[in-house]
Amino acid sequence: MARTVVSPQEVDFDAPGRRDYWVALEHDSIWGAHLIPLTVIVGPQAQPGRGVAASGSNHGNEYEGPVAIRHLLREIRTEDVTGRILLIPVLNPAAFKAGKRESQEDDGVNLNRAFVDGAGKTPALAGITHRIAAFVREQLFPQVHTWIDLHAGGDVAQFALATSFHPIEDPKQAREIEETARWFGTPLVVAYQNRTPGLLPSDAERLGKIMVGGEFGYGESVNPQGVRFAKHGIVAAAIHQGQMKGSIEKFAHHADGSQRLVEMVDPACFVSAPWPGHYEPLYPCGERIKKGQTVALLHDFNRIDEAPYEVQARHDGMLTAQAWRAPVRQGQSVAVIAKVVN
């Protein structure tokens, strides 16, 4: 397949068939452009504003999403698409090429904090990362009603594999989001806090979209189970929402009834390091935890003869995430104990 280099305004979202693009956004450092891979597949029953989009590499050192979507580029047949499917394996090429969470070699911005007022429009917010956010808002969001944003822990945290979303006030939207999230088959489905400004998911949710995120690996590696979950969930969303022909069976934890809905909205779910140190986990992610239980030890090697600090749960729940690298910074959330809903 040949990819065509185009400006954002040249992308055809409506003509039937498949088109593979490199969408060019002007580079800030060289005479050239950052190129975003975008595949548009449109079927005969496509409707304005209806479709499913899946993106990887919102953060540049999280690889399950790009790998899963790259597989789907070859596996989804154009003749099976009835509506509209957008596949974006690398949403942030600046961060991906740097191999960092942020666009480290360009403007240093975290794309998942860049969806703010004036992004890509005002001089203070005109770097490549904010212009990617503007491209998503202006060109991609209007084409679809569902967005799947695939993440992983990178070098920051280890996660129990999970899909995720924010608590939503609209009951119909909330129900559709949770149903879509469950179809991935992950052991956990996580409702998480919506206090952080600039998130892509928050932007999509405000527009009424079915928005599902997730953590499909960690350690700047490729988790094969996470890739399988991601692929299954994207295809399931496309089929169940009438954008693709076919049928699909429940998978893994969704199929056997072991999937758990957990909630990490309460700030008490997050346990921070009181000082810099080295994190020693005592339990794997996914373990049930009791209030007051020591889930990890924080070692201070400047006070090598003192007992380590005990990282303790502030309520009953499930250890959903914890520090991946041993060295941690003061204030870093080193353990997340989510509350089990069902």
3-class DSSP state for residue 236? helix
Q: Which of 157, 156, 201 is nearest to 319 (CA)?
A: 157
Distances (CA, A) of 105 to 9, 43, 94, 109, 316: 26, 39, 7, 10, 42
Q: Class of 4-264 per CATH?
A: alpha beta
Confidence of residue 287 (pLDDT cuts 50, 70, 90): very high
Instruction: Collect all residues with Cβ–Cβ distance below 8 Å to 171 and sequence separation of at least 6.
Output: none
Which residue type, as a one-letter code, is found at position 208? G
pLDDT in tens, 152-179: 999 999 999 999 999 999 999 999 999 9
CA angle 118/22/151 to nearest 5° reads 65
- Distance, in Å, from the CA atom of 36 to the CA atom of 140, rounded to the nearest integer, reads 12
- pLDDT of residue 289 exceeding 90: yes
- pLDDT of residue 51 exceeding 90: yes
Higher pLDDT, 327 or 27: 327
Confidence of residue 7 (pLDDT cuts 50, 70, 90): very high
- Distance, in Å, from the CA atom of 149 to the CA atom of 204, rounded to the nearest integer, reads 10
> Which two three-digit tokens encode residue 236?
């399931």
- Distance, in Å, from the CA atom of 278 to the CA atom of 301, rounded to the nearest integer, reads 8
3-class SS string, 106-155 = CCCCCHHHCCCCCCCCCHHHCCHHHHHHHHHHHHHHHHCCEEEEEECCCC
- pLDDT of residue 31 exceeding 90: no
DSSP code per residue over 296-327: EEEE-TTSTTSPPEEEE-SSSEEEEEEESSSE
Are 4-264 and 267-340 in the same CATH fold? no
Q: Where are the alpha helices (H) located in 183-240, listed in sequence order?
A: 200-206, 224-240
CATH 3.30.559.10 is right for the domain spanning 267-340: no
* Per-residue pLDDT, 29: 79
Other C-beta atoms lying within 10 Å of the C-beta of residue 8: 17
pLDDT in tens, 75-114: 999 999 999 999 999 999 999 999 999 999 999 999 999 9
* Per-residue pLDDT, 1: 63
**Mean of pLDDT values over 51-74:** 98
- Distance, in Å, from the CA atom of 160 to the CA atom of 273, rounded to the nearest integer, reads 20
pLDDT in tens, 223-268: 999 999 999 999 999 999 999 999 999 999 999 999 999 999 999 9
Instruction: Label residues 247-277 b or e (16+ Cβ within 10 Å = b).
Output: eeeebbbbeeeebbbbbbbeeebbbebeeeb
Query: In the chain, what are the domain boundaries?
Result: 4-264, 267-340
